[in-house]
């Protein structure tokens, strides 16, 4: 939960995240709000109680004036949606301005649980995760044609990721290479390679990291993280542990 006491006028360009983001606007900013995501631009005035959804891997831009908003940011792991999206041949689309009583109810229940320091336990958390993934899929899911996605050639996008994994790669680059929109390239890439472009990039970086750790060099983890395109050592360690179950140092100790 974020209470912004004096949020300045801002124009933020954010790279794709490795999780889905649902924002519940408890107290919306007044004034005009511009949002861009997956090649779509929204120019609007938010209302308190509305929600915004940003799918994993999608570059996005937020531009707004100063104010004192309050918002709950709910980050949802992509694997929470794997089963339903795969079985129903669906993908998740962004939507910056949504009114949903079901999602609002879940957001308020999660906020109450945060205020209670997670007192309801594991079963509550798992139930909320299941409800959230189901409701998000219904609200923001769209069916795709598997045949049409398979006909799209995104091999150049994959080659770019494999060759230049150590820098910041933007979704519009991959879309331009593939002659697709940003949302189309995410769907086509996921259909053909079984994972999103962002997750593929992370996998490339982590595989390179394992090889360099095993090579026995004397570089520090901080230098390795920067060389491979991670923001810092903490970011690298967190993602490495999420993927392997161990930290880089623990990984080396087991070899």
pLDDT in the model for residue 1: 63
What whole-number distance in Å separates Cα of residue 9 and Cα of residue 11? Answer: 7
Orientation of helix 171-178 relative to helix 155-163, angle to 10°: 140
Q: Residues with Cβ < 8 Å from 197, sequence gap 6 or more?
A: 16, 57, 157, 161, 169, 171, 174, 185, 186, 189
Question: In DSSP terms, which residues pair with 10 in a beta bridge?
Answer: 64
Helix (H, G, I), strand (E, B) or coil at 8: coil
Q: How many helices (H) and strands (E) does the chain have?
A: 11, 11
Comparing CA positions, the residue from 94, 191, 171 lying closest to residue 136 is: 94
The three-point CA angle 243-245-251 to 5° equals 100
Comparing CA positions, the residue from 93, 105, 177, 104 lying closest to residue 138 is: 93
Return the exposure string of 193-229: e unless at least 16 CB atoms fall within 10 Å of the residue's CB, then b.
beebbbbbbbebbbebbbeebeeeeeeebeebbbebb
The pTM for the full model equals 0.60
pLDDT in the model for residue 144: 61
Q: What is the dihedral of CA 130, 39, 64, 102, to 10 degrees?
A: -20
Per-residue pLDDT tens listing for the chain (255 residues) = 677 778 889 998 888 888 899 999 989 888 888 988 877 788 888 899 999 999 888 888 899 988 888 999 999 888 777 666 655 567 788 888 899 999 999 999 898 888 888 777 777 887 888 888 889 988 888 776 554 445 567 889 999 999 999 998 888 888 888 888 776 788 788 888 888 888 899 999 999 999 999 988 788 999 999 999 988 999 899 999 999 999 999 998 887
Q: Residues with Cβ < 8 Å from 82, sequence gap 6 or more?
A: none
Tokens 């026995």 found at: 216
Maximum alpha-carbon separation in the chain: 57
């Amino acid at each position: 939960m974020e209470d912004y006491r004096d949020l300045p006028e801002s124009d933020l360009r954010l790279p794709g995240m490795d999780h889905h983001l649902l924002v519940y606007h408890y107290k919306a900013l007044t004034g005009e709000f511009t949002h861009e995501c997956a090649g779509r631009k929204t120019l609007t005035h938010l209302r308190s109680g509305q929600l915004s959804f940003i799918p994993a891997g999608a570059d996005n831009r937020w531009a707004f004036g100063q104010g004192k908003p309050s918002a709950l940011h709910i980050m949802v792991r992509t694997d929470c949606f794997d089963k339903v999206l795969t079985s129903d041949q669906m993908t998740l689309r962004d939507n910056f301005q949504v009114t949903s009583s079901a999602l609002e109810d879940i957001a308020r229940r999660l906020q109450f649980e945060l205020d209670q320091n997670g007192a309801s336990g594991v079963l509550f958390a798992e139930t909320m995760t299941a409800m959230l993934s189901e409701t998000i899929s219904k609200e923001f899911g769209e069916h795709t044609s598997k045949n049409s996605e398979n006909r799209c050639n995104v091999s150049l996008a994959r080659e770019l990721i494999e060759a230049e994994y150590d820098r910041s790669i933007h979704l519009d680059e991959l879309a331009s290479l593939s002659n697709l929109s940003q949302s189309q390239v995410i769907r086509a890439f996921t259909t053909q390679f079984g994972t999103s472009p962002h997750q593929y990039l992370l996998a490339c970086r982590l595989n390179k990291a394992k090889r360099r750790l095993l090579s026995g060099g004397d570089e520090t983890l901080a230098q390795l993280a920067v060389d491979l395109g991670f923001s810092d050592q903490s970011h690298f360690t967190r993602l490495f542990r999420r993927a392997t179950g161990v930290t880089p140092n623990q990984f080396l100790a087991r070899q």
